[in-house]
Structure 1
């Protein structure tokens, strides 16, 4: 990940109290996303992204990820709040922003009868300072497929073509909306390597993804959206640190749970037993693991099946989503409209 810390004085993307409403001209009120004249898909979101930083937006379907990114891309005006990309309003000042930005949408629409190379050349004709076609093909691993018609490409190959077109103009800011959907494991890893290289060269990247491993691997910082609001944000390590780590092991023969040191002294916040297997949860992993291993050494016993692991981003994501849903119970509306407001 990028070693450079986020510098608010060098923000390339600035989002302040951003709101988006479908089917009406004013935001919903009283916390009900379906109230008022329209469905509020984005409800006062604020974040910023520094130059050369990769920022990930995460969330379940209907959380507001795509609705937010479309506002940043200048595809629609916000219902409220403020957006700046490279110092400009991306909707009102589109001509100043668009040549410096690359966009990879969830789904691209290509003429099916054109070949891959023809598609890139066509797109390059509308792009200032476009890369040579051969370079664009090589970047995304499509050189051997250059003469293949678009309609004959696999889903993963079409996603790579989407990425090639987003990179044609050597963008300063790159928006990637679910970039590795449909790719196999090798293709996903190759895309990760390319995105890392672009970021390391100074490109600012805003990524949405359903693959939490992808965000954990790539993101310098991230935000988790739930029902149009940011439920958590920070570095991947900061977000996962908010969740308990896990230790599991099998009790040695002749020992019982009560023979362990007091769990509270070990820093254990919760425990479960399944026969002889003990599962502990702790927010102070090193302290708990050290105390447990010292106890085993004193007793001269082996903790069979010992498994010590920090919380994953997936666990943090699921817990945050559950907590946010519980906190908003009864306050969410417009279930039929959520589907369209991804």
Structure 2
């Protein structure tokens, strides 16, 4: 299995302000990959460069095994920002328009099937202007489900949606993945990564600080230990070659790098050293994300 998407040292600046500073990542075919980063980190810029809406200042993009080329327009789809359709037309008629300019055969059949796949078949004849935000986002997704689709890029597709709307979008994305479509979904919602990501790319300061299977990232989690004497705990662990530092929330929370050891063994070392320990838990993804922001991207890409 090859890669659906590769970025090689991609750079882009606006008015001298660098947005992407050498982003490198690879997304395997048939995976649902999340592109995680704060608002303004450069996720939308990346999507626009991949889709050919803008040109990079340096670096290269590889799509579906080769350089970007015109024939890929039938295999690649992109959703960006707020969905825009003709407000007075129904959802069905808007998709018929999309079918026209994308030269999709059997436009009516495709439009109806796409609405069904995103759960909008009951609202097919309602005007777009009457759609809720969640329905608009689902219609936008429906417009991307071209017959020959192989790679789908989505920029914050669940932003601003309620729980029901978010679930509907993710259900459709998971179904697409199961059907063999490769997906890159940008988000600033860390919990989405925990629930849906198979592959993850983390963007910070214009560079990719991590790119790989989600399980590989999860394996880097440290053990968060609550203790009233963190200095004694650090000293005791250091004697066994284990590094520990105050957690992001400071106070009595200590973050311990397990270095491949079982958590219970590390807790046992503290107990043997007479260091009192309260609760302990694995580092959560948000804590790990903030730690990755300080990692040298050249070592992680």
| TM-score class, shorter | 0.7 to 0.9
- 1:26-64 deviation per Cα after TM superposition (whole angstroms, max 9, x unaligned): xxxxxxxx4xxxx33212222222211222222122221
Question: Could you say what secondary structure the match of 2:62 adopts?
Answer: strand
Q: Is the 8 A contact 2:223 2:263 kept in 1?
A: no
Mapped to 1, the partners of 2:255 and 2:80 lie a distance apart of 40
Aligned residue runs from structure 1 range 87-102, under 5 A? 87-90=65-68, 93-94=69-70, 96-102=71-77
Q: Is the 8 A contact 1:267 1:288 kept in 2?
A: no
Equivalent position of 1:310 in the other structure: 282
Equivalent position of 1:236 in the other structure: 214
Structure 2 residue 10 is the aligned partner of structure 1 residue 18 = yes
Q: For structure 2, which runs of at least 5 residues remain unmatched after alignment?
A: 272-276
RMSD (Å), alpha carbons: 3.4
Q: Is the 8 A contact 1:239 1:313 kept in 2?
A: no
Question: Could you say what secondary structure the match of 1:125 adopts?
Answer: helix
Q: Is the 8 A contact 2:7 2:24 kept in 1?
A: yes
Mapped to 1, the partners of 2:38 and 2:143 lie a distance apart of 27
Moved more, 59-68 or 202-211: 59-68
Q: Is the 8 A contact 1:19 1:41 kept in 2?
A: yes
Question: Could you say what secondary structure the match of 2:289 adopts?
Answer: helix
Moved more, 115-124 or 314-323: 314-323
Q: For structure 1, which runs of at least 5 residues remain unmatched after alignment?
A: 1-6, 24-33, 252-256, 297-302, 326-342
Aligned residue runs from structure 1 range 292-311, under 5 A? 292=267, 307-311=279-283
Residue 118 of structure 1 is aligned with which of 93, 113, 131? 93
- 1:165 offset after TM fit, Å? 0.7
- 1:67 offset after TM fit, Å? 0.8
- 1:159 offset after TM fit, Å? 0.8
Equivalent position of 2:41 in the other structure: 63
- 1:287 offset after TM fit, Å? 3.0
- 1:229-255 deviation per Cα after TM superposition (whole angstroms, max 9, x unaligned): 11222222333443422244899xxxx
Equivalent position of 1:226 in the other structure: 204
Q: Is the 8 A contact 1:240 1:311 kept in 2?
A: no
- 1:162 offset after TM fit, Å? 0.8
- Under a length normalisation based on structure 2, what TM-score does the superposition of the two structures give? 0.81
When residues 271 and 229 of structure 1 are mapped into structure 2, their CA distance, relative to the original with a 3 A threshold, is closer
Mapped to 1, the partners of 2:221 and 2:50 lie a distance apart of 31
Structure 2 residue 140 is the aligned partner of structure 1 residue 162 = yes
When residues 294 and 258 of structure 1 are mapped into structure 2, their CA distance, relative to the original with a 3 A threshold, is closer
- Under a length normalisation based on structure 1, what TM-score does the superposition of the two structures give? 0.72
Mapped to 2, the partners of 1:40 and 1:142 lie a distance apart of 40
Aligned residue runs from structure 1 range 21-32, under 5 A? 21-23=13-15
Question: Could you say what secondary structure the match of 1:223 adopts?
Answer: strand
- 1:263 offset after TM fit, Å? 4.9
Residue 60 of structure 2 is aligned with which of 75, 82, 88? 82
Mapped to 2, the partners of 1:44 and 1:262 lie a distance apart of 41
Greater Rg by CA = 1
Work out the number of aligned pairs and report it: 288
Question: Could you say what secondary structure the match of 1:132 adopts?
Answer: helix
Q: Is the 8 A contact 1:268 1:288 kept in 2?
A: no
Question: Could you say what secondary structure the match of 2:293 adopts?
Answer: helix
Question: Could you say what secondary structure the match of 1:189 adopts?
Answer: helix
